[in-house]
A and B are shown apart, each in its own frame.
Chain A
């Protein structure tokens, strides 16, 4: 039987490919420290994947590299090794592996890891991006949309809300780089974002609205902290948004077809 190419591992590789412009820019500006950090994160999360493969027969996924990249880029700086190990272990095990691996998880493991580290160790400073890294989020998002692995509606919804906020002169300029990077790394994850069409719009709009709200009302929030918190809440709401979209769809159908 012939078959197409959109199986789980190919989607994970396409996502990795889409994120390459941003990842490479980040490595370029981060230098040896960034490379070391990425390798360390990949090592720890890879270790857990191997443990679950041997103990529970869960095939490891390239999506582990996506998680590793997001954690390396977004996790708070100056954490001790033990703290990092704790955070990564908690995130990949509790948010992904115990559900049965990538594709069956409810929350993005990277979002959980970063939120855990950020709120568990509040003294650690959040990272700041060189501006080119944030610019590189644009080709990353475009590639993701073009390859069909990121929801175009979600991205459009988020951008629309941010555009409105910007036109309304709200003070969102400082969070914009973090907004873009987190959108590409965490929010557009096809597994944990809304999967319906209307749901995609709502999910993106909710993320944009939360970023705007936090930028406006969260006095001491660092940009990355603001964006990651918005991503976490938006991803928690995604199933609800899907449910709303499906309820609207069935109501419309019932009206039309009786």
Chain B
């Protein structure tokens, strides 16, 4: 309402852990792995065998239901192991770093001007997985056509690396990637940027630019999609990080897939925070080990708000949070424990904090009440289909709600997805 000067959202306390250096260092961990995101099911077919030497970017796995979609090697190395669960569902593909593997050269053809060729290139180069399709927040189907694509050149999560830093020196690649993306969407391409820090390079005609407020959650794709182009089962809206668009631009120009991404290692269990450029699926212990304080800690892939305990960097994550692990049980009185176990969870009280945690312009209390009570119809009417777990992480944090609202949103989304699926 008042523009970016009065950005709705919550302000986080200043991070007291000092930053090692403003300039990211390049770190390739010795091990890296391809893993499915939480809730993601990847039925795969192996294209390489164990112990084989592979090049960075070489396709390693392809989806069984869409063979044109490949998962590629995050770095040059040797395949250590491929673990599949029942039904050929990927559990983990582990690689050891070996620089001799070289880099895989992709045939780009006329992908820069032909939408179908571009789609084929995205799918064969593994960049397809960097898209997230809403509703439901999964990798898009191979033949899905988006109504809009949101390119996120902003990230307001506390401690997240600035996308503008990732784009520094890569303006041309980013412009080329944006121009290519505009062939994919039949409607509109959005570029979300921090207010006052606009991308100076060339952008394709017809691009809509959105200035996002400074405070979290204004820099989340879900909040912007909810506001500017709500998703529905027949209106698929994709979002992708700006750095991945620049990767696409570089791929189109050279045929080589860039091998690193900008990741921030943060958290209160560190001596100092650091910015690194590391491979996809990097080993989180390898990234945090040089700067971690002694003592028990746990490592999350993602921010302190929406991260999950993990061993490997998640497919879309650009942040690692290392927090001290709670050790030693807190002593509770037996009556308090009994009461907590028997009682229903405490309700969430609508306050200004709740309103701000949802971006300030949606009926937050009504939406969260619908989600908490499992009322699909109202939740959909209020825009739940545009959101995924990470968009409710701040509301979870602010209100300390139990069970977590983001989990309950996922339950509703899964139910709607099952209903929408063709029988």
Contact = CB atoms under 8 A, between A and B. Distances in A.
Chain A, interface residues (CB within 8 Å), range = 20 to 34
B349 A246 contact: no
B346 A2 contact: no
B348 interface: yes
Nearest to B1: A197
B352 interface: yes
B322 to A, nearest CB: 13
A2 B365 contact: no
Which of A7, A100, A148 has the most CB atoms of chain B within a 10 A radius of its CB? A7
B85 interface: no
Interface string A130-151: 0000000000000000001101
A57 B344 CA distance: 8
A249 interface: yes
Given A3-B397, A148-B351, A245 B344 contact: no
B366 A196 contact: yes
Nearest to B367: A246
A6 B399 contact: yes
A120 to B, nearest CB: 30
A89 interface: no
A196 B349 contact: no
Contacts of A7: 346, 399-401
Contacts of A104: 347
A158 B344 CA distance: 35
A145 to B, nearest CB: 8
Q: Determine which residue in B339, B351, B398, B400 has the highest number of CB atoms from chain A within 10 A of its CB, and name it.
A: B351
A59 interface: yes
Nearest to A53: B339
B343 interface: yes
Given A8-B346, A11-B349, A195 B339 contact: no
B346 A59 contact: yes
B363 interface: yes
Range of interface residues on B (Cβ < 8 Å): 35 or more
B214 to A, nearest CB: 19
A6 B305 CA distance: 15
A250 B381 contact: yes
A90 B28 CA distance: 68
Contacts of B347: 8, 100-101, 103-104
B304 interface: yes
B323 A2 contact: yes
Contact of A103 (B342, B348, B362, B383): B348
Contacts of A257: 229-230
A96 interface: no
A77 interface: no
B346 A6 contact: no
Contacts of B362: 249
B354 A6 contact: yes
A8 B366 contact: no
Contact of A245 (B340, B348, B363): B363
Interface string A178-193: 0000000000001100
Interface in A177-235: 190-191, 195-197
Interface in A141-165: 148-149, 151-152
Nearest to A246: B363
Contacts of A197: 355, 363
A59 B338 CA distance: 11
A9 B383 CA distance: 29
Interface string B282-313: 00000000000000000000001100000000
Given A2-B323, A2-B397, A195-B366, A190 B343 contact: no
B17 interface: no
A253 interface: yes
B382 interface: yes
Contacts of A195: 350, 363-366
Given A2-B304, A7-B346, A8-B346, A246 B382 contact: yes
13 contacts: A3-B396, A4-B353, A6-B398, A6-B400, A7-B401, A8-B347, A12-B349, A103-B349, A149-B351, A195-B363, A246-B366, A249-B363, A250-B382
The 7 closest A-B pairs by CB, nearest first: A148-B352, A103-B347, A195-B365, A57-B342, A195-B350, A4-B398, A3-B400
